[in-house]
Amino acid sequence: MNRHIKNIFLGFLLIFLLIQIIQPARNIDYGKVPSTDISKVYKVPENVQSVLSQSCYDCHSNSTHYPFYSYIQPLRYYIEKHIKKGKEELNFNEWGRYSHRKRISKLESIVHQIQQKKMPLTSYTDLHPETKLSEKQVEEIVRWVELMQTENKE
């Protein structure tokens, strides 16, 4: 390797090592399922809850299951950004704190997002293929949401 290329390579290596020091707080809540979780507020059948837990809770709850590579920067930064944004928009653990109006609007939004295949994010399903929703799973969630909408009409 000529010296010039070697120095550039070492420079990148040094930057890569240095950014590893930046490790933001992780989204982990070691407690049990909180009393404000959607499953404590609504009747959520097991098949629906398991899909939500597996495919949505990593970004839409207070507990993320972090794969080993999520600790490697700059990946860490992007992952944490998605979690923060996802949680702000919708947090299944905080459903009990949502107003009636907010719940109705989020239920509508869930149907919209999964029917349009916008959720879970493709950047996520590419790395976790098992979280991709099948047609059947989408249908089951949509049917459950419709039931919740009728049961919770004011």
Binding mask 35-64 for ligand HEC (x = CB under 6 A): --------------------xx-xxx----
Pick 6 or 136: Cβ nearer ligand HEC? 136
Distance, CA of 110 to CA of 112 (rounded, Å) = 5
Pick 109 or 149: Cβ nearer ligand HEC? 109
Distance, CA of 26 to CA of 65 (rounded, Å) = 10
Distance, CA of 54 to CA of 14 (rounded, Å) = 37
90 is an interface residue for ligand HEC by CB under 6 A:
yes
Pick 36 or 132: Cβ nearer ligand HEC? 132
Residues 111-150 close enough to bind ligand HEC by CB under 6 A:
113-114, 119-121, 124, 133
> Could you give the dihedral angle defined by the CA atoms of residues 55, 57, 59 and 60, in that order, rounded to the nearest 10 degrees?
120
Pick 7 or 152: Cβ nearer ligand HEC? 152
Pick 6 or 117: Cβ nearer ligand HEC? 117
Residue 56 DSSP code: T
> Which residue from 6, 40, 43, 85 is in contact with ligand HEC, where contact means CB under 6 A?
85
Size of the site for ligand HEC (CB under 6 A): 19
* CA-only gyration radius of the chain, Å: 20
DSSP string, 83-142: HHHHHHH--GGGGGGS-HHHHHHHHHHHHHHHHTT-SS-HHHHTT-GGGSPPHHHHHHHH
Q: Which residues bind ligand HEC (CB under 6 A)?
A: 55-56, 58-60, 82, 85-86, 89-90, 109-110, 113-114, 119-121, 124, 133
